[in-house]
């Protein structure tokens, strides 16, 4: 088992990438705290982990709230004694997110609060717990749109994920000598409910797919396997990385010079 006796917190753990990652981490031996605003779906993930012989706990957490993020870290240390892995994965993609002219301020603020401030809060309370444990791994979910612009305008989302990348790089440098690795997982377009609800017409989906060399949407399970690599000792010499798992999309559009 690649995460035997490790303790992980997974935000947005009730669905999509978070759900598949929580299940996979547990199968690989980790004790998992599933943090999400959706109590029913989150508890279902915990039940599924327990049914397979794993260990998990659920905590309701709105990552835009500092107290909720502090609570999820406390839950990990109280229930399982420590924290080894923090996966700041929770995020939103608002269907009304558009360009600078059309995007409403409220959509901008909500997107930033969850996608960017939520990562900050996770690290604010999670990094001290990792220090108490002598080190560990932080994984922040960014996106390929932090590297290239989105074909369908989603300015608040893209800006928030760019912020996640910048935060990841700085935290990696700050904490490298403490045994705390901080990397960003950058998924390409995925066949998840989050993206499919945003790309709500076949025309929008094809407009996104035409840019993907592999010609298909990725799957949440594929991102979970990438997160497992970043969480495990197999990536022990990686920190500050933008780990692109995008079907070749950015390779088709980004030159070596950036």
Count of residues in the chain: 258
Provide the angle, in degrees to the nearest 10, between the axes of the packed helices 39-51 and 16-27. 20
Strand 136-141 relative to strand 85-88, pairing: parallel
Strand order across the beta sheet in which 55-60 lies: 55-60, 31-36, 7-11, 85-88, 136-141, 180-187, 242-245
Q: How far is it, in rounded angstroms, from Cα 116 to Cα 121?
A: 9
Q: How far is it, in rounded angstroms, from Cα 16 to Cα 47?
A: 17
Q: Is there a contact between 146 and 164 (Cβ–Cβ < 8 Å)?
A: yes
Q: How far is it, in rounded angstroms, from Cα 3 to Cα 115?
A: 26
Around Cβ 78, how many Cβ atoms within 10 Å? 11
For 237, the token pair is 């010499």
Tell me the HSE value of 122 on the side-chain side, using a 13 A CA sphere. 35
Q: Is 55 a catalytic residue?
A: no
Determine which one of 125, 157, 198, 253 is catalytic: 157
At 99, give phi and psi (nearest 5°). -95, -175
Active site (catalytic) residues: 157
């Amino acid at each position: 088992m690649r995460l035997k006796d490790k303790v992980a917190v997974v935000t947005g753990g009730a669905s999509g990438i978070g759900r598949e990652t929580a299940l996979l981490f547990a199968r690989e031996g980790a004790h998992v705290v599933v943090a999400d605003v959706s109590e029913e779906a989150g508890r279902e993930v915990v039940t599924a982990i327990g049914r397979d012989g794993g260990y998990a706990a659920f905590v309701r957490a709105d990552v835009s709230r500092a107290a909720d993020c502090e609570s999820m870290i406390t839950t990990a240390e109280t229930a399982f004694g420590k924290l080894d892995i923090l996966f700041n994965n929770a995020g939103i993609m608002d269907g009304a997110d558009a360009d600078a002219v059309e995007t409403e301020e409220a959509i901008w603020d909500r997107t930033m609060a969850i996608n960017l401030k939520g990562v900050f809060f996770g690290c604010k309370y999670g990094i001290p717990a990792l220090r108490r444990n002598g080190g560990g791994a932080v994984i922040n979910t960014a996106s390929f749109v932090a590297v290239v612009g989105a074909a369908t305008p989603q300015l608040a989302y893209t800006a928030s994920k760019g912020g996640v990348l910048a935060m990841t790089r700085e935290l990696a440098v700050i904490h490298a000598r403490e045994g705390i690795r901080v990397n960003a997982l950058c998924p390409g377009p995925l066949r998840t409910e989050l993206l499919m609800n945003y790309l709500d017409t076949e025309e929008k989906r094809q407009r996104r797919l035409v840019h993907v060399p592999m010609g298909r949407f990725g799957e949440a399970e594929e991102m979970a396997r990438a997160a497992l690599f970043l969480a495990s000792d197999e990536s022990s010499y990686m920190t500050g990385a933008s780990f692109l798992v995008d079907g070749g999309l950015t390779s088709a559009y980004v030159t070596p010079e950036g």
